[in-house]
Structure 1
Amino acid sequence: MDSPVAVVTGAASGIGEACARALAAAGHQVVLADRRFEDAQRVAVDIGGRAIAVDVAEEASVAAAAQAVMDAFGRVDILVNSAGVLQRTLPPGQLTMKEWDFVVRVDLRGTYLCCAEFGQRMAAGGGGAIVNIASVAGMRSGPLHAYGPAKAGVISLSECLAAEWGPSGVRVNTVSPGFTATPALSKGLDTHTLEEEHLKAATVLNRLVRADEIAAAVVFLASPAASAITGINLPVDCGYLVATPWASYGGLRRS
């Protein structure tokens, strides 16, 4: 049997690229789907994969991408939804509906469209694994009034689809990264929207997450080793979620 076919959205950089590289290293046939086709193609050449252009927020684009994968490989075994955008930390009076709609359209609608197109093909084929990338921002309060709710929606969506397609052998799980060292995060640091020392101090491990650490969790959840796992949300956050409540008690006890 040929090696499994894995589709990764947002694979041109950051977490998506790390997932594509890790899946290729694990022996999968990897399709790198991204709106930035040339950047995705660069990574694809490096790992022996195939790049396709897709705008995850556009229904016709996602449908065409799914059909292209089926035409090329005859099946899809794994889908990793990593395509997403961040937002500025603006109060509601300054966060325009144009920006709000854009974030939710890509992060939540885009995840749903990709799940719907690829997931139904997996279900018809008798099985598969979907891993959606959400965020710890979807699990806690923060000044991200579009991004946070969109990522919370991704977590809920994954649970719904896990129940929908489980009887057909399709597993659907979520990975929620903490603050991860990616080009997108670097922009926030460069503009001082985020401060690296504050981000590190808010974790028990006192560091940022690496993209390859997110990818390792994704590869595990997509693998036969996780064959009994579906409908979960796995935070990979260097202990951000357990660290933040300690602020009420004066902060963590650093050695």
Structure 2
Amino acid sequence: MADPRICVVIGATSGIGRAIALKFASEGNVIIVSGRNEERGAATVKACAQLGGQAHFIACDLADAATIQQLASTVFKRFGPTGALVNSGGILQSGGRVLDQPLDQDSDLWNVNYRGTFIACQEFGKQMRDARRGAILNIGSLASFAPLSLPSYTPGKQAILGLTQILAAELGPFGVRVNAVAPGYTMSDGLKAKIAAGEREPEAIKATTALRAFVEPEQVAEAASFLCSDKAASITGVTLPVDAGWLVQAPYAAYLQGNPIHE
């Protein structure tokens, strides 16, 4: 029997990253749970173990390049080359305008969301290149495809789409695949809290999707599992929307308003 695959999930202490870590654990992989919060990380490790997977927590802060580099070094020394890397860490942004964007917030978003992902891809990508195998999965967004009113978050997620494509071309000759998923409105703890506080209207959100539904973290995890598996052996350089059809519903509904269908 082949040795279990080493899967590093950065941002695995909550939300989509946690769901991906649990999915990988259920498949018998060794999971490196990484993030800033050690308490939540320990909870994810415990949940992975209950599903039959080996799991270990190693702290990492995407705003600190040295901790990302240390994570990659520690994983390699303790476990060997990484088989799959998932870059799920990041920070969100509320709606705003480019002309009003505070520069310090812009720097924070780019340092964590894009630069953190970039450095992780560098460090683990080198391991995979040398091992001539592996899969990288980045977390994009609907903002990777659409001009959402998030002045720093949107350009950062569009940059991750480009980074994914560039890396796929660079690492493909070494047998390493690089893809991304672009989640839609995902029923995370954060979104649940905003709905409970009356800050989001769930029916209005669902109406913006073709399936009239939210995305569940576990559904994103299913897509992540597929793209990192041998079942997707010929797929690289793609950013797969997991959005309940938001990207098709938005232009369809906008066009229909001015050009209604007459029965």
Q: Does 1:101 align with 2:102?
A: no
CA positional deviation for 1:224: 0.5
Segments of 4+ moved more than 6 angstroms: none
Specify the code of the residue in structure 2 equivalent to 1:11.
Answer: A
CA positional deviation for 1:35: 1.0
Q: What pairs with 1:1-20 in structure 2 (closer than 5 Å)?
A: 1-20=2-21
Gaps of 5+ in 1: none
Distance 1:94 1:246 in 2: 31
CA positional deviation for 1:188: 4.1
CA RMSD of aligned residues (A): 1.6
Distance 2:177 2:183 in 1: 20
Higher mean C-alpha displacement, 135-144 vs 3-12: 135-144
Distance 1:117 1:171 in 2: 15
**Structure 2 residue aligned with 1:54, among 60, 84, 98?**
60
CA positional deviation for 1:186: 3.0
- The aligned length equals 253
Map of 2:26 onto structure 1? 25
CA positional deviation for 1:181: 0.5
CA positional deviation for 1:137: 1.4
Identity %: 37
SS for the counterpart of 1:150 is helix
SS for the counterpart of 2:98 is coil
Map of 2:215 onto structure 1? 209
Map of 1:168 onto structure 2? 174
SS for the counterpart of 1:180 is coil
Specify the code of the residue in structure 2 equivalent to 1:22.
Answer: K
Map of 2:81 onto structure 1? 75
Q: What pairs with 1:1-255 in structure 2 (closer than 5 Å)?
A: 1-48=2-49, 49-190=55-196, 193-248=199-254, 249-250=256-257
TM-score by length of 2: 0.92
Structure label with greater radius of gyration: 2
Distance of aligned partners of 1:192 and 1:101 in 2 relative to their CA distance in 1, 3 Å threshold: farther
Gaps of 5+ in 2: 50-54
